[in-house]
Every structure is written in C-alpha cells, then in structure tokens.
Chain A
C-alpha cells in the first residue's frame, strides 16, 4: 500500500532563517505531488505541484520554493523565512490519472518567531 511521510511535525524557526520541509511517498511511482498551506478560515491554498522529477509549478508568488530531486521526494524550501510564512503545511500525492483523489501527510506546523 501507499504511504506518505512528512517531517518534521512541528518547527519553530527565527525570522530570516532557512527552511526545508521534506515529503516522501512509498508504494507508488510517478505520483503527482503537492504542497498546500492552510491558514485559519482560508482553506487549503495550493502552493506548488509537480507532475515529474524537476517539474515544479508554482500557484502563487511567495517566499517559498519547491524541488523534486527524486520521483517520490518533494521538498519545500525558503532561504529566509518571514513571519507571514507561519502556518500548517501539508504535502499530498495523487495518482497522475485525472480522476483520483489526493492523499495527505500529517502536516507540519511552522511557527516563525
């Protein structure tokens, strides 16, 4: 069966520090991968998605970037965190077929202080 791992679960970082959140998927190949951010009352905002290695699409301009160095690895990064980057970040994967749901990791609570 497929599983998705996302870490760390909680992170407190100072303003201006770098960020690296990692997500890996097991039990499937060539998945679509997604990074979402969740803010209270605003639902899930799609930040990045990837349909293959090295293929990253950004949905909104921001202080973050994403990379997909391996087929089942998706990394969310920042060179210098802002206070506004605080939030709950969720990684997800889906089968590349168009009629499938997304499966989510447990999320990372990021607090920038």
Chain B
C-alpha cells in the first residue's frame, strides 16, 4: 500500500523568502503525485500534479515541485512567499490497492511573518 510522509509539521518563513516543503512517498510502482493547499476552514485546492514526463512541474500561485525517483520525493517550492501563502499544505499519492485511491500526508502548516 502507498504512504506519504511530510516530515515538517510547521514551517515559519518571512515574506519574500523562499519556501520548500518536503514530501516522501512509498509505493512500488510509478506514483501519481499531488500537492494541495487548504486555507483555514476550507476544502482543498489542487496546486499541481505529476504523472509522468518532465520531473519539474509548475503549478498555480507560483509553486513548483520536483519529482526525484531516486529519493522517493516530491518537494514543493516557491521562490518568494507572499503573506497569502499562509495555509496548510498536503502532499498526496494516487495508486492502486484494489481500487485507485488518494492517500495524504499529515500536512505542513506554513506561517508567513512580515
């Protein structure tokens, strides 16, 4: 069965600084990988996804993520953080285990300080 680990529970970053959120997955075959963002009290919005091809994927809101098969990682990055990026971020892996399902990591809360 697939699993996702987000090692950082909480990250604080200054506005304008760069941000990197870590995600490691466990799955025997090629995974389908996603990053979602959640604002307080809201549902989840898809930031970007990776299925195949170019290992650097671009998403909405200036985010990008890089798939590294050798490290089983799919880290999310943003060069310059805005105060509106304060939210909770979830990494997810889609894989087959009888049926196709999405499994999510525990999430990383990002705080942006002025």
Contacts and interface: CB of A to CB of B under 8 A. Distances in A.
A41 B9 contact: yes
Interface residues of B, number: 27
A51 interface: yes
Contacts, number: 66
Given A46-B101, A90-B44, A106-B43, A41 B94 contact: no
B94 A106 contact: no
A99 B9 contact: no
Q: DSSP class of B's interface residues: helix, strand, loop or mixed?
A: strand
Interface stretch (B11-19, B62-70, B77-85, B104-112): B104-112
Interface string A1-16: 0000010000000000
Nearest to B45: A104
Interface of B: 6, 9, 32, 34, 36, 41-46, 49, 51, 90, 92, 94, 96, 98-107
Given A32-B100, A57-B99, A41 B43 contact: no
Contacts of A44: 44, 90, 104, 107
A100 B96 CA distance: 12
Interface residues of A, number: 28
Contact of B101 (A42, A49, A90, A103): A49
A94 B102 contact: yes
Most buried by A among B36, B44, B99: B44
A43 B41 contact: no
